[in-house]
Amino acid sequence: MIKVEGVTKVYGGFTAVDDVSFVCQPGRVTGFLGPNGAGKSTAMRMMVGLTPTTRGRITIGGHAYTDIPNPARHVGVLLDASAQHKGRSGREILNLAAITLGLPSSRVDEMLDLVSLSPKESKRRLKNYSLGMMQRLGIAHALLGDPEVLILDEPANGLDPAGIRWMRDLLKSYADRGGTVLLSSHLLNEVELIADEIILIGRGRIVAQGTKKELLSRDGQETAYVTAVDNAAFAAELARRGFPVEIAGDGLAVGTSPLEVGRAAAESQTVLTDLRSASTGLEDLFLELTADTQRESAVAVQPAPATVGTSNEGVA
């Protein structure tokens, strides 16, 4: 378990991370999202003692990272895959780490196999690695000591589609076996597929956090899209039942679950041609909640509520 309590990082007069608190639970994949410069990498660096905190406390499995003996046996870290000696081969890098950790060299072969780096590739020097190969090596390095916790800064960066799918399956099964995973990413679709919990950060502050389900259903407020043969009549029926309803495209957006809408349709003998859940996508949520922290004004489409929990918007 990773516990971050009231952590702040100030560089000179600039606050890069501002009073951030969250917990990453075992058995869960936690996605750490935020625009460029939001403070994700800084927060991760503080977790593993590479950057001291200005205020606050971070523990992993109840201990500060710097107090954990042989930390790579407990915490797998991938912050910058290129931060290795460029003249060493991938295999040498893993071999050195294995020796430091007291692991047999067979573990290196196992990891190279796991991340699909061929024996030939593993003998190439790091300076001749492609971005994706470097990233695969970084993942192998993080997993080498069979840790219980993984802290990965943009692990999917540079991976090809098959590699991204492989990593998703790898991290999911790692969490299913009880591992704790914290990963940052800009690939929102990817995070939506993989993360159980999501932490959204903008300008150093957490703007939203919760389970994927909670966030995407906007604080439990579900929305259903429905199209009936007679939309006007069904809209009147839904309004009579007290559901917020608006016209949306060819159909209606209703501020309740598809189950309730289906029930209303059955009871009023309404013929439907479409009914589905219209939970906000992660990308919409991300752009909305971080609108005032984004560089591109074009994405500042809606005012950002302070937190998802205080949002009292009607149907989308």
Ligand X SMILES: Nc1ncnc2c1ncn2[C@@H]1O[C@H](COP(=O)(O)OP(=O)(O)OP(=O)(O)O)[C@@H](O)[C@H]1O
Partner interacting with residue 271 (select from Mg ion, ligand X, none; CB below 5-8 Å by kind): none
Contact flag: residue 83 with ligand X (CB under 6 A): no
**Token duo for residue 299:** 């994405």
For residue 205, the minimal CB distance to ligand X (Å) is: 12
For residue 154, the minimal CB distance to Mg ion (Å) is: 7
Partner interacting with residue 135 (select from ligand X, Mg ion, none; CB below 5-8 Å by kind): none
**How long, in residues, is the chain?**
316
232: Cβ contacts below 8 Å, ≥ 6 apart? none
The amino acid occupying position 208 is A
* Residue from the set 7, 29, 33, 39 that interacts with ligand X by CB under 6 A: 39
DSSP 204-271: TEEEEEEEHHHHHTTTT---EEEEETTHHHHHHHHHHTT--EEEETTEEEESS-HHHHHHHHHHTTPP
* Residue from the set 4, 29, 38, 68 that interacts with ligand X by CB under 6 A: 38
For residue 65, the minimal CB distance to ligand X (Å) is: 17
Nearest alpha carbon to residue 171 among 34, 59, 28, 33: 28
Binding mask 4-43 for Mg ion (x = CB under 5 A): ------------------------------------xx--
* Residue from the set 2, 4, 7, 16 that interacts with ligand X by CB under 6 A: 16
3-state secondary structure of 105: helix
Partner interacting with residue 189 (select from ligand X, Mg ion, none; CB below 5-8 Å by kind): none
Using CA atoms, how far apart are residues 96 and 87, in angstroms rounded to an integer?
14
Asked if 257 and 218 count as a contact pair (C-beta separation under 8 A), the reply is: no
* Residue from the set 4, 20, 30, 34 that interacts with ligand X by CB under 6 A: 34
Which residues contact Mg ion (rule: CB under 5 A)?
Answer: 40-41
Residues that bind ligand X (CB under 6 A): 11, 14, 16, 34, 36-42
